[in-house]
């Protein structure tokens, strides 16, 4: 039987910038590696990435294996799958973790299919059982329980983790580790990049905001401007929403907070017209402070907030904006 050992984290970088979700996963990977008493490895693919190849070591990795070539300048699921499968077959980690970004959610199952191994998506926690299996923890859709999943036979055990579930470890430039440059021969991909365009959306992503103004069904579409006006009062802020607004086509999916949206950890979360369904709470429960505004005194959201206001948002939000502006 081929031996597998070690924990490996795929480090996603875009145009020379390592994604925060990958750094967060390095902290959890370090914890698992220590529990198994094995090394933590990081895989990175890109072009002209010499300036960042030591970053995973600063965040907890013992070894970085990277591939640097112009053909990897832009993400291509077929190409990246080929490369990572070859690296996994060579280095044989027992655990392979991928951040559940829009690329990671596509890439990880593609790799698992090639290797004919199991995968658990959108995990919110990990543990190691007495048989050294990775316990992959995630909430089922629409459920109030947690699923504990293992891959007892096949290796590597592959899982994606929701961004912002785990805190990023502190960067330590004094950490030392091994850096290995690899070359992998790949087949010509069937997919070809024809054109690359920058996104026109310049708004701060909700997962990076320190203050989030979240709106739900209780807020009329004609009053969305109130949420954006309140958002402007704060620096490093963004408007988010609950799932029903996305399902109705009223807000983009990139703004959705919750179990099927994004997990956020802002310093302040202001929920306006949000009832507080368990799926939504799962995405914002780690906010430092939560303020809820709802006309229904029995709304579930009031069980999860630090400060609740029962009343009409049309009256409350303008007054709140006025008070906050007077403080600046």
Q: Where are the domains of the chain?
A: 7-181, 206-326
Q: What is the pLDDT of residue 199?
A: 59
CA gap 228, 112 in Å, rounded: 42
Q: What is the pLDDT of residue 75?
A: 87
Q: What is the pLDDT of residue 70?
A: 86
Least confident of 51-55, 60-64, 223-227, 261-265: 261-265
Q: Do domains 7-181 and 206-326 have the same CATH topology?
A: yes
Residue 214 clears pLDDT 60, i.e. is over it: yes
Q: Which residue has the higher pLDDT, 165 or 58?
A: 58
Q: What is the pLDDT of residue 1?
A: 47
Report the candidate in 39, 22, 67 with the shortest Cα–Cα distance to residue 163: 22
Q: Which two tokens stand for residue 104?
A: 């990671």
Residue 127 clears pLDDT 70, i.e. is over it: yes
Q: What angle do CA 61, 47, 122 make, to 5 degrees?
A: 50
Q: What average pLDDT does range 43-70 have in this prediction?
A: 94
Q: Tell me the pLDDT tens digit for each residue of 242-258.
A: 999 999 999 998 899 98
**Which residues lie below 8 Å from residue 327, measured CB to CB, with a gap of 6+?**
none
Task: Give the bridge partners for 147, in sequence order.
Answer: 138
Q: What is the pLDDT of residue 295?
A: 93
Asked whether the beta carbons of 124 and 141 are under 8 A apart, the reply is no
Residue 147 clears pLDDT 60, i.e. is over it: yes
Tokens 């007054």 -> residue:
319
Among 52-66, 185-199, 271-285, the range of highest mean pLDDT = 52-66
Check: pTM over 0.85? Answer yes or no. no
Q: What is the pLDDT of residue 196?
A: 64
> Which of helix, strand or coil describes residue 256?
strand
Q: Which two tokens stand for residue 181?
A: 């440059």
Question: What angle in degrees, to the nearest 10, is found between the helix axes of 77-91 and 104-115?
Answer: 50
Q: What average pLDDT does range 271-290 have in this prediction?
A: 90
Asked whether the beta carbons of 196 and 132 are under 8 A apart, the reply is no
Q: Tell me the pLDDT tens digit for each residue of 160-178.
A: 998 888 989 999 999 999 9
Q: What is the pLDDT of residue 144?
A: 61
Asked whether the bond before 156 is cis by omega within 30 degrees of 0, the reply is yes
Task: Give the model's confidence band at 2: pLDDT under 50 very low, under 70 low, under 90 confident, else very high.
Answer: low
The pLDDT > 70 percentage for the chain reads 93
The pLDDT > 90 percentage for the chain reads 70
**Residue 114 gets which letter from DSSP?**
H
CATH 3.40.50.1220 fits 206-326, yes or no: yes
Terminus-to-terminus CA distance in the chain, angstroms? 67
Report the candidate in 80, 77, 90 with the shortest Cα–Cα distance to residue 2: 90
Report the candidate in 292, 197, 206, 212 with the shortest Cα–Cα distance to residue 252: 206
- Rounded mean pLDDT of the chain? 90
Residue 143 clears pLDDT 60, i.e. is over it: no
Task: Give the model's confidence band at 198: pLDDT under 50 very low, under 70 low, under 90 confident, else very high.
Answer: low
Asked whether the beta carbons of 169 and 30 are under 8 A apart, the reply is yes
Number of neighbouring beta carbons within 10 Å of residue 43:
25
**Residue 206 gets which letter from DSSP?**
G
Task: Give the model's confidence band at 106: pLDDT under 50 very low, under 70 low, under 90 confident, else very high.
Answer: very high
Q: Which residue has the higher pLDDT, 23 or 286?
A: 23
CATH number belonging to domain 7-181: 3.40.50.620
Q: What average pLDDT does range 311-319 have in this prediction?
A: 93
> Which of helix, strand or coil describes residue 11?
strand
Q: Tell me the pLDDT tens digit for each residue of 68-88.
A: 988 888 888 899 999 999 999
**Residue 171 gets which letter from DSSP?**
P
Asked whether the beta carbons of 216 and 275 are under 8 A apart, the reply is yes
Sign of the dihedral through C-alpha 127, 131, 134, 140: negative
Q: What is the pLDDT of residue 185?
A: 79
**b (16+ CB within 10 A) / e for 175-186:** eebebeeeebeb
């Amino acid at each position: 039987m081929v031996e597998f050992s070690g924990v490996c984290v795929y480090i996603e970088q875009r145009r020379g910038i390592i994604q925060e979700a990958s750094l967060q996963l390095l902290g959890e990977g370090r914890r698992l590696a220590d529990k198994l008493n094995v090394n933590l490895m990081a895989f990175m693919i890109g072009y002209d990435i010499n300036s960042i190849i030591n970053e995973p070591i600063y965040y907890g990795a013992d070894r970085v294996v990277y591939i640097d070539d112009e053909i990897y300048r832009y993400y291509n699921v077929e190409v990246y799958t080929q490369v990572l499968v070859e690296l996994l077959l060579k280095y044989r980690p027992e655990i392979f973790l991928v951040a559940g970004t829009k690329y990671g959610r596509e890439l990880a199952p593609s790799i698992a299919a090639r290797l004919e191994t199991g995968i658990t998506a959108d995990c919110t926690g990990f543990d190691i059982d007495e048989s050294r299996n990775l316990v992959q923890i995630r909430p089922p859709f629409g459920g109030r329980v947690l699923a504990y999943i293992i891959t007892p036979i096949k290796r590597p055990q592959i899982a994606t983790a929701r961004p912002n579930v785990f805190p990023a470890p502190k960067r330590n430039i004094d950490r030392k580790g091994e850096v290995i440059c690899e070359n992998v021969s790949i087949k010509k991909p069937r997919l070809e990049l024809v054109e690359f365009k920058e996104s026109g959306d310049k708004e701060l992503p909700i997962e990076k905001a320190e203050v989030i103004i979240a709106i739900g069904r209780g807020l009329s579409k004609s009053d969305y401007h109130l949420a954006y006006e309140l958002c402007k009062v704060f620096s490093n802020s963004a408007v988010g929403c609950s799932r029903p607004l996305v399902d109705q086509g009223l807000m983009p999916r990139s703004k959705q907070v919750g179990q099927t949206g994004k997990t956020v950890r802002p310093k302040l979360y202001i929920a306006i017209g949000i009832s507080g369904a368990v799926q939504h709470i799962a995405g914002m429960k780690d906010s430092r402070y939560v303020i809820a505004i709802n006309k229904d005194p029995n709304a579930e959201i009031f069980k999860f907030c630090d400060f609740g206001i029962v009343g009409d948002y049309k009256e409350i939000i303008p007054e709140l904006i006025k008070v906050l502006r007077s403080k600046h």
